[in-house]
Structure 1
Amino acid sequence: MTLLHAWFDAFLRSRRAASLFRRRALPDAGAGRGAASAMPDDVSAGLLRLAHAPLAAALAGLDAHPDGLSADEARERLARLGPNEIDHEKPLPWWRHLWQCYRNPFNLLLSVLATVSWLTEDIKATVVIGTMVALSTLIRFVQEGRSNRAAERLKALVGNNARVLRRAPGTEVAELADTCVGAHLHSRRPAQQRSLPIRELVPGDHIVLSAGDMIPADCRVLGAKDLFVAQAAMTGESLPLEKFAEPDPQQAHLLDQPNLLFMGTNVVSGSATAVVLATGNRTCFGTIAQRSTASERAPTAFQAGVNSVSWLLIRFALVMVPFVLLVNGVTKGDWPEAFLFALSVAVGLTPEMLPMIVTSTLAKGAVLLSRRKVIVKRLDAIQNFGAMDVLCTDKTGTLTQDRIALERHTDVFGNDSQDVLAFAYLNSHFQTGLTNLLDRAVLEHVELQTELRLAQDYRKVDEIPFDFERRRMSVVVSEREDHHELICKGAVEEMLAVCSHVREDGRDLPLDAARLARVRQTTEELNEQGLRVVAVAMKETPADRQVYSKADEHALTLLGYVAFLDPPKESTAQALQALAAHGVEVKVFTGDNELVTARVCAQVGLPAETIVTGPQLERMDEAAVCAAALRHRVFARLTPLHKERLVRALRAHGKVVGFLGDGINDAPALRAADIGISVDSAVDIAKEAADIILLEKNLMVLEDGVIQGRRTFSNMLKYIRMTASSNFGNVFSVLVASAFLPFLPMLPLQLLVQNLLYDVSQIAIPFDNVDEELVRQPLKWNPADIGRFMVFFGPISSIFDLSCFALMWYVFDARTVADQSLFQSGWFVVGLLTQTLIVHMIRTPKVPFVQSIAAPPLLLMTGLIMAIGVLLPMSPLAGYFKLQALPAGYWPFLVAILFGYAVLTTLLKKVYIRRYGWQ
């Protein structure tokens, strides 16, 4: 385990802001049935038994009713079985959290020093070092506890719900055949549909599923219509599988059962009702997760960045600490004292406050973002937020208003038509799949309220749900039981592919080349007006059929179109300009056609000279796709896989990519992006795949979040730079002094106290101000820059440390072992004050205290520590630390040293910025 992992052990274990299904890869996911073999035999056998049993027997085995549970029954089972959650997602008990906060290499090293001091009867050193351990542990415990509680509160704002069927108490049980007619719930059933948090589901509950839903527990299908489920999280298979209500006893593998649904998978298309078989740890997902806690996901950019910096400090310590031991042992001859001093130097080299500083900074950033209506599900995603330099977004509801108005309803050649509106209304009214803005616009149209009450004259027969390959959906209705009508609506090109006739002046005529050209011209004219066009078609079928499928969508008659106005938001143009000013390039990925997309982009000021379409991407190889992704800003007619492919192409070229989406078609791209961004109104799978949730779908909110992410990252970077450069300078000074002095330049106890005070002074860094210039461009981890920074600025402090050595040696005549206390006191004060002063010198590229002033908490904390450093040698406690009061002549020299240090650092900072820049 790396040192970083030890530092971050408690922090990573407490990433409970990540939701239940957060991008977790299961064991052997790519091995097809490997996941099933990872499950205990009793779990696998129990689910197989319920899958193969007759439905009535399966329900009896669950002590469930054909119409679902009553609220009282569900409440009793929830109390008995516990919530539908995975155990390892729960917060650590306080005592385990306290142990995790103590158990890091720095505290263990200090504990060894305290033990050695106690064994050698050095009670003073034991008390001081013990205090350091206690303070370090308690500060981290308190700060991480506050951070975790804040993360839990934020997570509660974006929890997912399931649609549950609850039976009214005392209601008679309906016939099983009636209950399981299908997912459309048009049979008469006593159960009522409720939306409940998924953690409240219990075995025996009946749930309703449609496209975009996460499967919240292990379930058996009761009824399904064109139900396709993505099981890649369980099996590694990229293609979705169709599920049915009927069992298949021939299938021996659990994950191959056609009537079982598993927690952690999601519905791609279709709809269903299902009964819950297992929840929480008793699900396949739960049992595998419990057996695979050692399997961690790949480090994020944030973790990899801190890891690389940590290894830089480790390598530095591995070289310097043995050298310090050797020099002091040889020159002083006291090897035990030299060993303790070397251990103290090791403590001084290690940024033991890093876990607390990072956790506090991230938590503060998350709370500030929540006030700006941005909810952070995973704390370390904030760094990626600040590093993002490309934002890919959909068009509808982001660039445009989150409300679509039905603007036109026309026949095939552009003339207003009430018949087309009536058929579109019937389609939207009876469909039960993924409700979208277009359906809402049709149903809320003012004309429908008074003129279209025809729904009561129709009975729904069947439904062919929407999917993103066909880009259309159909309902089959019966008018007065005379005949059936299949009514289909969808994207124009996909609709034309299944139409053979057009309705013109009440007659159905063949769709020949001439009429097809007129149809295309009409739809293009509507698109050029900025209208989104949806085609409507139908055909009559015999009244004796009850089940329909995608194969029936052929030989349709095109009736006309419903056209929608999707106006841009007033804030969009301003938001795009603000994001561009902060170094974030916005790219539009939409499934809409290129004409409408071009019109909207022109209205918001987004250049779209060339629009790349999905069919064009399919003809490109990977190199061409990468080139197109980098060169162009607008992409239209995209499928979910097109979006994912573009995101991966951008990342392959070193871009930090954010993706903003809210639909099931956005889920693959959300998972592929460095930072997935969704909205609270999104479908379940989009919210689960996202790292950040926007409570308001507005690019201005996003721009605020980007800036706050950069401020958070900048404050973390300050601590690492300060610590690395200051520690490097101190160790260099120690080496020089150890080689020439007849005594230690500072006692181990004094070095530890100085290090403790310096660390306490930096507790307020998370609350510091950040210069506006530092958040104008994306910020990324650059370990090479931190190493260069350390080597460049570290020796500056050594120059003034050597000046202090000369001062104490030549001016105050502290040259013998008897006078070492005076020498050590003088350097103790200089070292602490210069270390604290560097906080202000390095926190900004500007002139400190003049052009840029730290936040009041940081000013107060550093001022307090400097005062303690000055007063400690003159206080009653000085004897405990083997310090002594300094002569009056020392103080003017101290002011001169500090002034010279500030001036030289400021001058060299300008040299560094000109040569290397300042991130």
Structure 2
Amino acid sequence: MKPSAVRDLQEGPRWGLSQEEAARRLREGGPNTLTREQPRPAWLFLGRQFRSGMVWLLLGACGIAGLLGELADAVAIATIVLLNALVGFLQEYRADRAVLALRALTAPNARVLRDGVSAMIPASEVVPGDALVLEAGDVVAADARLLDAHALLTLEAALTGESTPVDKKVGALPDGTPLAERGDRVFMGTSVAAGTAVAEVMATGMATELGRIAHLVQTAEESETPLQQRLEGVTRMLLVVCVVVAVLVAGLGLLRGQGWLELLLAAVALAVAAVPEGLPTVVTLALAVGVQRMARVNVLVRQMQAVETLGAATVICTDKTGTLTAGIMEVREVWPPTAERRVLEIAAGCCDAELPTQGKAGAGDPTELALLLAARAQGFERTDLERERPRRAEQPFDSDRRRMSILRSDGVLYVKGALEALLPLCRDVPLGVKEANAALAGRALRVLAVAEGRGADEKDLTLLGLVGLADPPRPEAVEAVRAAREAGVRTVMITGDHPATAVAIARELGLLREGESPEGTVHARVTAEDKLRIVRGWKERGEIVAMTGDGVNDAPALREAHIGIAMGRTGAEVTREASDLILTDDNFASIVAAVREGRGIYENIRKTLVYLLAGNGGELVLMLGASLLGLPLPLLPLHLLWVNLVTDGLPALALVMDPVATDVMQRPPRRPDQPMLGKREWGAVLATSLVDACVTLCTFLWALRHLSLVEARTLAFTVLVLCQLLRAFSARSERLLFWEVGPFNNRPLLAVVTLTVALQLGIQQVPALARFFSLVPLSVEQLALAFGLGLIPVSLLELRKLAVRGYARARGPASGPLSAR
């Protein structure tokens, strides 16, 4: 507050506490801070990486290999598990540190009266009974009752969702008055837009309205992500398959009189063949790629699983102010248009706000700031007016007068306020002003009347016109809402604003179209409990819910939703802590862009999973077939690990980096109950597994007749590797041929296949590596045969796509368009 104003307060009633009493209350009641989540320890992030059944299956195989003395196999499996855990740990730990850095944005001080003297203290030292001294730009440090107020307006969007300034005045209101209408109180975390006040602190810390909402966060339940649920389903199926096949092989082996050691070695080989060891790493990399892509669209990811979850969203519950709208007031219309410049000059001349200047931030009522900007666009600067015709007297706005006036040195009185307050004072009134006022208000605009007169008395005024203001929709939000609708994602607006304002903005954004009811789509005047109820309601219907917000009243709903999205610029600290994602630009369009990336990541994970499982299925059928035929093991466990990690796993890592399909936002969202792999995907896995296994097993049978066991294994090993490597190009799309997808728009895949072929040849040709892998070099003729056989699976897959396409054409247009992926 200005020094003169502070002196006036000190000469008035005795408010506030003594230093001794304040210190006593601070000791008894504790600091004025919110109980917040502590930074999570590093060990917790590391432990989270070992929750998957797939990881425990791998650890079991590692233990068996170690007991059998197969140290190379055991070390290889353990290395896989640890590397995967390390990648996931580093990503989530770094994201959490980034969020901790954002906490530094909120650390306000407070001005209080102690021993009758104004003093600036840390907000954490404010206690009940303190007298807060407030002025424009201050952040309120605690919940307080007004003792004295002059033209006080506060911004409470962070607490109530109300976007326009709230008029405050002294006077007790009933206890049951809704929070958004408590004009006699100011609340912790809100800010002063205009005016001055002194307020007695009634509650601090967790006893405040802000603290009450923060407490609700602890009662909200975090949801398991769809990806976690689906991958666990795949893992359970793999465990069942692994156990059934192991029992079958063990039973056959016992019937043939095989020894336990040999059977255990076969069991390890089958476990390695059945489990896609690279899957955890592939999923982690896919999500990490999503993290990087989302960062490019202004989304900071706290939990990697949230990348895919957002792509599965069927409902986005979003705050209005600052997310769908710009979060600032803007002059939308001036009536009459012929007098626009004069109306804006008088309106801007009757303002106390200050626009930002070089080296100085702007301050004041958002409505006045909007008037000053509109006047500047007309070539009028309020600073020039203050220099040429300084003010002689002024009467500030208050809720009783509903107007403000400033007398200039030339004798002209500038007046603005509600039309109802100005009409009785006006002598000259334009025709149709009441109709124009009704029309502007009907479009949910905040309407100000502007008048001028002579002398300090507010009488015989001339009404010049009307100004309609509103918080405008973000231009990009309109397109984002349309894109979300086309993608089958329902956008639900949740706001603390007046219902008429909310509905008008919803229609302007395209959330509501002609004839559509706002019920279920637009929720106005909501509380924190309402938001929590709305999110739970959608979840009970089986929807995947994303919730956005910036105020602490959004935090419980953010925690409850499948994915919580906080605002990075304006979001409260407790809101960011409750979130999974943070928007660095507070823009709804960024959410829709992130949905696109999330859908692309899910599609990449799914097709990569099909590719991996087809490879593992081929290995499993190969090993099982050889066992049923009474043949020696075609591949050793170390060979299978090499296939799964290097010649199968590396292409899978490249597949998850495929570009997002161009039509991904034209498809409906996948159903929440849809499994990760449906009948079509499992059919593809089975068919491809049989082809890979048949080609490799036939090669092994032929080689056993003409070559030694080591040579036969080397040839079968090479054929299986080439089958899977070349099949990666076909795995990029279920319908399009590999050259139609774009053979050169995934350069990592080209590089990986080339590198892996070189590695496969290298472990045969380098003597030390050949001994380690129990291999021998192949001749040029044998390598040519292996390449020819390796082309069989990919050729059959591409021919199948052509057959499906021909069948679709034969059925006609009713079969539907082909997907771009």
Both structures adopt the same fold (TM-score exceeding 0.5): yes
Q: Report the Cα distance in structure 2 between the residues aligned to 1:175 and 1:389, rounded to whole angstroms.
A: 49
Give the match for residue 231 of structure 2. Answer: 306
Aligned to 2:149: none
Q: Distance in 1 between matches of 2:102 and 2:479?
A: 28
Q: Which residue of 2 aligns with 1:680?
A: 568
Which whole-Å CA distance do the structure 1 matches of 2:312 and 2:222 have between them?
21
Structure 2 partner of 1:608: 513
1:148 to 93, 110, 114: 93
Report the AA paired with residue 568 of structure 2. Answer: D
Instruction: Tell me if the contact between 1:728 and 1:795 (Cα under 8 Å) persists in the aligned partners.
Output: no
SS in 2 for 1:563: strand
Deviation at 1:902, TM superposition (A): 0.6
Secondary structure (helix, strand or coil) at the match of 1:505 reads: helix
Confirm whether residue 92 of structure 1 aligns to residue 43 of structure 2: yes
Matches within 5 A, 1:508-519: none
In structure 2, the residue matched to 1:381 is: 306
What is the identity, as a one-letter code, of the residue corresponding to 1:610?
A: G
Aligned letter for 1:320?
Answer: V
Deviation, 1:901, is 0.8
1:100 and 1:381 mapped to 2: Cα distance? 16
Counterpart of 1:851, as a letter, is V
Instruction: Verify: 1:712 aligned to 2:601, yes or no.
Output: yes
Change in Cα spacing, 1:714 to 1:156, as seen in structure 2 (3 Å) is farther
Q: 1:388 to 1:520 in 2, by over 3 A?
A: farther
Residue 907 (str. 1) matches residue 795 (str. 2): no
After TM superposition, list the pairs within 5 Å mapping 1:616-765 onto structure 2: 617=519, 629=521, 635=522, 639-640=526-527, 651-662=539-550, 673-684=561-572, 687=576, 690-757=579-646, 758-765=648-655
Determine the C-alpha separation between the residues in 1 that align with 2:171 and 2:732: 59
Task: Verify: 1:813 aligned to 2:813, yes or no.
Answer: no
Aligned to 2:75: 130
Task: State the alpha-carbon separation in 2 of the partners of residues 318 and 240 from structure 1.
Answer: 60
Gaps of 5+ in 2: 1-16, 142-153, 161-168, 192-196, 356-362, 406-415, 450-464, 809-814
Give 3-state SS (helix, strand or coil) of 2:582's partner: strand
Asked if 2 retains the 8 angstrom alpha-carbon contact of 1:801 and 1:830, the reply is: no
Of 338-347 and 141-150, the range deviating more from structure 2:
141-150
> Conserved in 2, the CA contact under 8 Å of 1:101 and 1:141?
no
Q: TM-score, normalised by structure 2?
A: 0.68
Question: In the alignment, which residue of structure 1 is the partner of 2:246?
Answer: 321
Q: Give how far 1:503 is off.
A: 6.4
Distance 1:721 1:141 in 2: 25
Deviation at residue 345 of structure 1 after TM alignment: 1.5
Equivalent residue for 2:279?
354
1:524 aligned partner: 438
2:742 alignment counterpart: 852
Q: 2:222 aligns with which of 278, 297, 300?
A: 297
SS of 1:736's partner is helix
**Secondary structure of the equivalent of 2:310?**
helix
* Other structure's SS at 1:524 match: helix
Task: Kindly provide the CA deviation profile for residues 237-284 of structure 1, in whole angstroms up to 9, marking residues without a partner as x.
Answer: xx98999x99xxxxxxxxxxxx999xxx999xx9985897899xxx99
Cα displacement string for residues 686-731 of structure 1 (whole angstroms, at most 9, x for unaligned residues) = 5555543333354544443222222222232233222222222321
Report matched runs for 1:388-537 at 5 Å: 388-391=313-316, 393=318, 401-406=326-331, 437-438=366-367, 440-441=369-370, 450=385, 504-506=423-425, 523-527=437-441, 530=443, 532-533=445-446
Q: Residue deviations 1:828-850, cap 9 Å, x none? A: 22222223333332232322255
Q: How much has 1:333 moved relative to structure 2?
A: 1.2
Contact 2:323 / 2:588 at 8 angstroms: preserved in 1?
Answer: yes
1:400-439 Cα offsets, whole Å, 9 max, x none, are 555433467999xx9999999799968999xxxx998446
Tell me the residue number matched to 2:413: none
Match of 1:620 in 2: none
Q: What residue in structure 1 maps to residue 7 of structure 2?
A: none
**Which segments of 5 or more consecutive residues in structure 1 lack a partner in the other structure?**
1-52, 70-77, 119-124, 197-208, 216-223, 229-238, 247-258, 465-472, 478-487, 493-500, 509-517, 537-559, 618-624, 630-634
Report the Cα distance in structure 1 between the residues aligned to 2:653 and 2:52, rounded to whole angstroms.
16
1:203 counterpart residue number = none
Q: What secondary structure sits across from 2:445 in the alignment? A: strand
Question: What is the identity, as a one-letter code, of the residue corresponding to 1:185?
Answer: L
After superposition, the C-alpha distances for 1:342-365 in whole angstroms (9 at most, x for unaligned) are 123213322333333323322332
**Structure 1 position 372 matched with structure 2 position 297:** yes
Partner residue, 1:802: 694
Tell me which residue corresponds to 2:268: 343
Aligned to 1:60: 24
Distance 1:871 1:454, change over 3 A: same
Distance 1:811 1:391 in 2: 59
The one-letter amino acid paired with 2:758 is A
Contact 1:680 1:694 in 2 (8 A): yes
Work out the CA distance in 2 between the residues paired with 1:597 and 1:728.
55
Cα pair distance change 1:421/1:165, threshold 3 Å: same
Given that residues 310 and 594 in structure 2 are in contact (C-alpha distance below 8 angstroms), is that contact kept between their aligned partners in structure 1?
A: yes
AA at the equivalent of 1:608 = R
Q: 1:811 to 1:832 in 2, by over 3 A?
A: closer
Contact kept in structure 2, 1:154 and 1:370, CA below 8 Å:
no
* Cα distance in structure 2, aligned partners of 1:173 and 1:813: 99
CA distance in 1, matches of 2:754, 2:471: 57
Local SS of the residue matching 1:682: coil
Structure 1: distance between partners of 2:333 and 2:690: 77
**Aligned to 2:42, what secondary structure does the other structure show?**
coil
2:278 maps to a residue whose letter is: M
CA distance in 1, matches of 2:738, 2:751: 15
How many Å separate the matches in 1 of 2:511 and 2:212? 47
Q: Which amino acid aligns with 1:777?
A: R
Distance 1:875 1:195, change over 3 A: farther
After TM superposition, give the deviation of residue 896 of structure 1 in Å.
2.8
1:321 Cα deviation (Å)? 2.7
Whichever residue aligns with residue 686 of structure 2, its letter is G
Q: Deviations over 1:31-60 (max 9, x none)?
A: xxxxxxxxxxxxxxxxxxxxxx99955623
Count of residue correspondences: 715
Amino acid in structure 1 at the alignment position of 2:617:
F
Q: Match for 2:425: what amino acid?
A: G
Secondary structure of the residue aligned to 2:517 is strand
TM-score w.r.t. the length of structure 1 is 0.61
Kindly state the Cα deviation for residue 738 of structure 1 after the two structures are TM-superposed. Answer: 0.6
CA contact (8 A) 2:711 2:775 kept: yes
Q: Secondary structure at the match of 2:224?
A: coil
Question: d(CA) in 1 for partners of 2:287 and 2:364?
Answer: 37
Partner Cα separation in structure 1 for residue 328 and residue 514 of structure 2: 27
Q: Is the 8 A contact 2:730 2:738 kept in 1?
A: yes
Shift of 1:162: 3.5
583-592 vs 884-893, which deviates more?
583-592
Alignment check: 8 A CA contact 1:762 1:861 kept: no
